[in-house]
């Protein structure tokens, strides 16, 4: 089954660039394109898509408020000429942020993230009962189930932690030491006083840093020997 895509951008040239890129790929199909977010919202009332390519600066309804208006958003890839919205959109759980003009290799990197996210989602639907998980308290009354194989990194924020997963980000009240002790040591490793990461989510190691989902995390001096040895032991 092909991955359904929606393109929302007020620049015809930008729409054509994305269309041309997607036309080269067998696994993706374009459901519709719109030059404004209002028409896209109306389309989504009666149609579903897997991923939206979304511009930020658009008339009437901008991309950020469009995202906020979605109750159950599909995967979102921002395509914009401006880089200053990156932090705000990542807080809205966009899967990638492409700054125009972007070349095909960078575009493919975003689509690889889409494929991984959809694969994880499909796996969770079919095998949820077999996957290890933990419950964490994300507010005073709500406990959230987090599957361990979805965790990317755990970041210390003093008395709190930010758990970054393939399906969302969660803030909990805990220390990094206590939370890391709850995770299986064969799958997770602390690389810095501020970070614990999933070993199988590490895409690359370079110098004193690791790369996960396109982001680099510095390995602390006191951790570097253990981290590199454990990564080596995990390799085939």
The domain that holds 162 is classified in CATH as 2.40.50.1020
From 1, 11, 9, select the one nearest 32 (Cα to Cα): 9
Whether residue 148 sits in one domain with residue 112:
no
| Neighbour-count burial of 138, counting CB atoms closer than 10 A to its CB (0-12 exposed, 13-18 middle, 19+ buried) | middle
User: Same domain for 122 and 7?
Assistant: yes
Domain membership of residue 47 as a residue range: 3-126
Q: Do 142 and 211 share a domain, yes or no?
A: yes
Confidence label for 128 from pLDDT (cuts 50, 70 and 90): very low
Q: Are residues 114 and 179 in the same domain?
A: no
Number of domains present in the structure of the chain? 2
Q: Of 94, 126, 158, at which residue does a domain stop?
A: 126
Per residue in 181-231, pLDDT (tens digit) is 989 988 999 999 999 999 999 998 888 999 999 999 999 999 998 888 887
What's the gap between Cα 44 and its chain centre? 22
Q: What is the pTM of this model?
A: 0.53
At 18, which CATH number?
A: 3.40.50.2300
> Which of 126, 161, 182 is the last residue before a domain boundary?
126
Pair 157, 186 in one domain: yes
pLDDT per position as a tens digit, 95-111: 889 989 999 989 998 89
Indicate if 108 and 138 belong to the same structural domain: no
**Domain identity same for 119 and 156:** no
Of residues 92 and 136, the one with the higher pLDDT is 136
The last residue of one of the domains, among 126, 145, 167, is 126
Contact 154, 195 (CB under 8 A): yes
How many CB atoms within 10 Å of residue 172?
A: 17
44 close to 69: Cβ distance less than 8 angstroms = no
Question: 188, 180 in Cβ contact below 8 A?
Answer: yes
Contact 157/171 with Cβ under 8 angstroms? yes
Judgement on whether residues 143 and 76 belong to the same structural domain of the protein: no
Q: How far is it, in rounded angstroms, from Cα 141 to Cα 75?
A: 28
Interatomic CA distance for residues 23 and 17, integer angstroms? 10
Specify whether 103 is located in the same domain as 200. Answer: no
CA distance 228 to 32: 46
- Domain match, 7 and 122 both: yes
């Amino acid at each position: 089954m092909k991955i359904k895509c929606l393109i929302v951008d007020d620049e015809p040239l930008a729409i054509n660039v994305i269309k041309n890129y997607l036309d080269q790929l067998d696994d993706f199909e374009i459901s519709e394109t719109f030059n404004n977010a209002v028409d896209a919202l109306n389309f989504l009332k009666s149609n579903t898509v897997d991923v939206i390519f979304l511009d930020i600066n658009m008339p009437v309804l901008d991309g950020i408020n469009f995202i906020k208006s979605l109750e159950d958003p599909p995967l979102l890839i921002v395509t914009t000429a401006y880089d200053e919205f990156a932090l705000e959109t990542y807080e809205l759980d966009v899967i990638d942020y492409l700054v125009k003009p972007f070349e095909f290799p960078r575009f493919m990197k975003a689509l690889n993230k889409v494929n991984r996210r959809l694969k994880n989602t499909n796996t969770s639907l079919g095998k949820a009962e077999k996957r290890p998980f933990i419950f964490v308290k994300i507010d005073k009354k709500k406990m959230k189930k987090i599957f361990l194989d979805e965790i990317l990194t755990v970041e210390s924020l003093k008395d709190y932690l930010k758990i970054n997963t393939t399906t969302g980000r969660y803030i909990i009240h805990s220390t990094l030491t206590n939370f890391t002790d709850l995770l299986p040591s064969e799958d997770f490793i602390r690389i810095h006083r501020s970070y614990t990461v999933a070993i199988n989510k590490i895409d690359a190691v370079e110098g004193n840093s690791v790369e996960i989902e396109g982001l680099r995390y510095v390995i602390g001096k006191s951790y570097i020997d253990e981290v590199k040895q454990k990564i080596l032991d995990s390799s085939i």
